[in-house]
Amino acid sequence: MLNNRLHDPFKSAFDSLEEYADLISQVLMCPVTIEDANHRLLAYSTHDERTDSARISTIIGRRVPEKVINQLWKEGTIPALLKTKEPIRVKNMDEIGLGNRVAISIWKQEEVLGFIWALEINKSFTDEDFNLLKKAADAVKNKLLQLQTRKNKKEERFQEFFWKLLTGHLNDQEEIIEHFHALQISPAASFSILVFKFQENITAKEEQSISYLLKTIQSLKIILHTIDLNQLILLVSTERIENPVQELDQFSHVFITKMAERYGIRNITPASSSIYQDNKMIRKAYEETLSLLSIKDKFPAETAKIFNYQKLGIYQFFDHLLEKRKTEAYVNYSLKRLHEYDQKHHSNLVETLETFLNNDQNIHEAAKELNVHANTLNYRIKRISEIGEVDFKDPNQKMSLFIDLKLEKYQGS
């Protein structure tokens, strides 16, 4: 049958991607799917009994399941598709319901626009089939470029709307809902702002990788997203999630891990806001994430495991407390005495005190951190109590010392 085909059966015009998927299927005599670069289903050939569960799940969900994408990354299939314009044979993977198939990337110069997947059922593709698949990928390119242009214009409108929300230029609930509906976006009953701070400004290539992950990590619904220099900013739906803060932390962990494993981008700092129900609070939520990132910059060790604004505790109020201390010209008597002693005797009682309080007065943990013997630390604590007139059984004095120690560091940084 191959010998009777025209040299290039894909030259003819077609009205839709569905029509084109059917044409590829007829030429290659197998089921076919066409996806965009983020593995969202664009078209599939007419369904028959010759298929596998991965293809069925893709058609039902209109996107490739996350577990399939993850396995294809681990097996090296997707990394290979992002490097070559040649078809790649994908072997059977029973654990994810994936049968034998051949995949090819659809390219525009050095950018991947999407993929064609063709199942090998009751036959193995020949070299001539591979050449036909390459012709098919080249022919569908213009159709995907049209879709990409429309998508880019739509995303520009989304980002303009998002910045109006982040900066408070839209603060009427009814007006905000009207904008959501005009853009055909479903507003969330509850939400959080999630920010990822990168070490350097995000490049165009990194932006593509970010967009890919946001589309393929399916644990949270991303309503809107934008990029500001070195920050990725997300509006995330938290409705119908039992433990939203935990889910936000988990999403952050997965995103950061995959950015490192797949693209070699590391040292990304996440920050999430409180959970809100009123869209007028999007600006406040965004300000919370910026405040959290600022605190994490100033207290990296103390806040290393804090990624949500609600977990900042006393650190939330440091700006207000510092202003109050300045206004009142307040001096902590105990700390003043300890600083004077350290300067005169070249000791480190203030550092010892801070470490002791950081570890909730646990002698063994604090001694380990200070790299001293527990008996040495006990002696220092006794001297701190005597010189600074500190009563470690008084919770009010301990809290005051803890706050003023942190405010000193905060003011100094």
| Distance separating alpha carbons of residues 125 and 121, to the nearest angstrom | 9
Q: Does 162 reside within a domain?
A: no
Instruction: Assess if residue 279 is contained within a domain.
Output: yes
Q: Is the domain of 103 the same as that of 203?
A: no
Q: State the SS3 of the chain.
A: CHHHCCCCCCCCCCCCHHHHHHHHHHHHCCCEEEEECCCEEEEECCCCCCCCHHHHHHHHHCECCHHHHHHHHHCCHHHHHCCCCCCEEECCEHHHCECCEEEEEEEECCEEEEEEEEECCCCCCCHHHHHHHHHHHHHHHHHHHHHHHHHHHHHHHHHHHHHHHHCCCCCCHHHHHHHHHHCCCCCCCCEEEEEEECCCCCCHHHHHHHHHHHHHCCCCEEEEEEEECCEEEEEEECCCCCCHHHHHHHHHHHHHHHHHHHHCCCCCEEEECCCECCHHHHHHHHHHHHHHHHHHHHCCCCCCCCCEHHHHHHHHHHHHHHHHHHHHCCCCHHHHHHHHHHHHHCCCHHHHHHHHHHCCCCHHHHHHHHCCCHHHHHHHHHHHHHHCCCCCCCHHHHHHHHHHHHHHHHHHC
Give the integer Cα–Cα distance in Å for 234 and 224.
Answer: 6
Render pLDDT for 252-267 as a digit per residue (tens, 0 to 9): 999 999 999 999 999 9
- Indicate whether 209 and 260 sit together in one domain: yes
Q: Report residue 152's pLDDT band, with 50, 70 and 90 as the boundaries.
A: confident
Residue 193 lies in a domain: yes
Q: Does the structure show a pLDDT above 60 at 2?
A: no
Let me know whether 201 and 335 are in one domain: no
Report the pLDDT value the prediction gives residue 412, as an integer from 0 to 100.
Answer: 65
- Answer whether residue 126 is part of any domain: yes
pLDDT of residue 123: 81
The arithmetic mean of pLDDT across residues 215-235, rounded, is 92
Answer whether residue 306 shows pLDDT above 50: yes
User: Average pLDDT, stretch 133-145?
Assistant: 90
pLDDT at position 150 over 70: yes
What was the pLDDT predicted at 300? Answer: 85
Q: Give the range of the structural domain holding residue 96, as residue numbers without chain letter.
A: 2-150
User: Sorting pLDDT into bands at 50, 70 and 90, what band is 365?
Assistant: very high
Residue 7: predicted pLDDT: 67
Residues 143 and 38 grouped into a single domain: yes
Do 86 and 225 lie in a common domain? no
Do residues 8 and 56 share a domain?
A: yes
pLDDT digits (tens, 9 = 90+) for 99-126: 889 999 999 888 899 999 999 887 889 9
pLDDT at 69: 92
Identify whether residues 135 and 176 lie together within a single domain: no
- Tell me, yes or no, whether 126 and 70 share the same domain: yes
Residue 320 lies in a domain: no
308 and 172 in a single domain? The answer is yes
Q: Domain for residue 402, yes or no? A: yes
Residue 247 scores a pLDDT above 50: yes
**297 falls in which pLDDT band (50, 70, 90)?**
confident
Left if phi > 0, otherwise alpha if psi is -120 to 50, otherwise beta: which for 311?
alpha
Our count of domains for the chain comes to 3
Based on the fold, state whether residues 22 and 119 are members of the same structural domain.
yes
Flag whether 322 is in a domain: no
Of 109, 124, 150, the residue at which a domain comes to its end is 150
Task: Calculate what percentage of the chain has a pLDDT beyond 90.
Answer: 55
Q: Is the pLDDT of residue 191 over 80?
A: yes
CA 66 centroid distance within chain: 15
In this predicted model, what pLDDT tens digit does every residue of 4-19 receive, in sequence order? 444 678 877 777 889 8
More confident residue, 349 or 13: 349
**What tokens does 342 get?**
């350290």
Asked if the model's pLDDT at residue 413 lies above 60, the reply is no
- Do 267 and 341 have their domain in common? no
Percent of the chain surpassing pLDDT 70: 97
- Write down the pLDDT at residue 3: 46
pTM: 0.78
Residues 198 and 280 in one domain: yes
Q: Per residue in 18-69, pLDDT tens?
A: 989 999 999 998 999 999 988 999 999 986 666 788 888 888 888 899 899 9
CATH code of 222's domain: 3.30.70
pLDDT at 275 over 50: yes
What is the chain's mean pLDDT, rounded? 89
CATH number reported for the structural domain that contains residue 366 in this entry:
1.10.10.2840
Average pLDDT over residues 261-287: 94
HSE of 375 in the Cβ direction (CA atoms, 13 Å)?
A: 0
Q: Show which of 284, 313, 342 is a domain's final residue.
A: 313
Residue 325 lies in a domain: no
Among residues 313, 342, 363, the one where a domain terminates is 313
